[in-house]
């Protein structure tokens, strides 16, 4: 029966069903303790007011939100359905899903993560946060032995000025085995003097002005992509000499996109000296 149930219903419906009764929850949990769902990747999303556990499949690009934590103020008081209060929070069923409401957003987020990971016998695979979700980095690293596979630090238009100490905390504590994506805004004068990695892929989208020659040398990744770079042509030459001398030995691909207003008189000379397709430089 459970095989049929899992094939016909998505992860969201399974989580919702688990809230119907303790008996159903025990049945589902017992099933997944014996057999983990193959190819399921569990993400925590803590961006703006969104605090959600989502599940993706290796064969699919999109994520499915399976359980959300919301502030008690977001509860629709005009709704005819009466929320159920239990264990210090309120829950409400609607449109095939269950919504949980908490006074403390961080506590609520931890509760939904613990619930879904326990139900499916899964670790947190990926973390997607803005600057106000950085607490989750240390929390996840202490709650599970397995390292995060993916981390995305996303931009929130409501917060344009991020403190240096917060950005330093993110870069120094993003312990990830596979992919790191940095999309958030970094101040013009921001500099990072630490080591980022080791992991497989690093993508810095649109705000790569803070990346220096020393950063490139110290980043420990297999593939690196930087947009909005402000490094100079001489920096590019220096990095190529560093790599050819055996530096950054894990690196197999580097792609750097420079700011549009940069003046690169020697860019053609840089290209002429590059004889390996692993390097891509463009304005």
Give all domains of the chain, ordered by start, each with its CATH number.
Answer: 1-38+64-122 (no CATH), 123-282 (3.80.10)
Using DSSP's 3-state secondary structure scheme, residue 75 falls into coil
The arithmetic mean of pLDDT across residues 103-108, rounded, is: 92
Average pLDDT, the chain: 84
For residue 261, what pLDDT band results from cuts at 50, 70 and 90? low
Exposure of 168 by Cβ count < 10 A (0-12 exposed, 13-18 middle, 19+ buried)?
A: middle
pLDDT over threshold 60, residue 165: yes
- The runs of H, that is alpha helices, within 51-204 are 105-120, 135-143, 164-173
pTM beyond 0.85: the answer is yes
Residues in Cβ contact with 205 at an 8 Å cutoff, skipping those fewer than 6 apart? 181, 182, 183, 227
State residue 227's pLDDT score. Answer: 92
**What would the pLDDT profile of 15-50 be if each residue is shown by its tens digit?**
888 888 889 889 888 888 887 777 889 999 998 888
For residue 99, what pLDDT band results from cuts at 50, 70 and 90? confident
pLDDT over threshold 50, residue 3: no
CA dihedral 17, 22, 25, 31 (to 10 degrees): -140
């Amino acid at each position: 029966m459970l095989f049929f149930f899992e094939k016909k219903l998505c992860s969201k419906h399974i989580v919702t069903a688990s809230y119907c009764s303790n008996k159903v929850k025990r049945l589902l949990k017992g099933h997944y303790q014996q057999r983990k769902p193959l190819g399921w990747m569990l993400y925590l999303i803590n961006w703006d007011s969104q605090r959600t556990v989502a599940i993706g499949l290796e064969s699919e690009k999109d994520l499915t939100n399976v359980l959300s934590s919301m502030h008690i103020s977001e509860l629709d008081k005009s709704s005819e359905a009466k929320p159920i209060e239990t264990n210090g929070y309120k829950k409400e069923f609607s449109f095939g899903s269950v919504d949980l409401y908490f006074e403390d957003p961080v506590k609520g987020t931890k509760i939904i993560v613990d619930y879904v990971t326990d139900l499916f016998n899964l670790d947190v695979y990926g973390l997607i946060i803005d600057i106000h979700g950085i607490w989750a980095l240390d929390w996840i690293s202490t709650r599970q032995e397995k390292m995060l596979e993916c981390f995305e630090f996303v931009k929130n238009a409501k917060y344009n000025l991020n403190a240096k100490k917060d950005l330093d905390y993110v870069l120094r504590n993003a312990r990830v085995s596979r992919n790191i994506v940095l999309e958030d805004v970094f101040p013009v004068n921001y500099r990072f003097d630490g080591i980022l990695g080791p992991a497989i892929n690093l993508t810095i989208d649109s705000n790569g002005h803070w990346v220096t020659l020393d950063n490139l040398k110290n980043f420990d990744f297999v593939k690196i992509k930087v947009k909005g770079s402000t490094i100079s042509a001489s920096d590019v030459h220096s990095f190529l000499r560093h790599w050819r001398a055996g530096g950054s030995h894990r690196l197999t691909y580097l792609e750097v996109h420079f700011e549009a207003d940069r003046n690169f008189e020697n860019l053609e000379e840089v290209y002429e000296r590059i004889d390996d397709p692993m390097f891509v430089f463009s304005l």
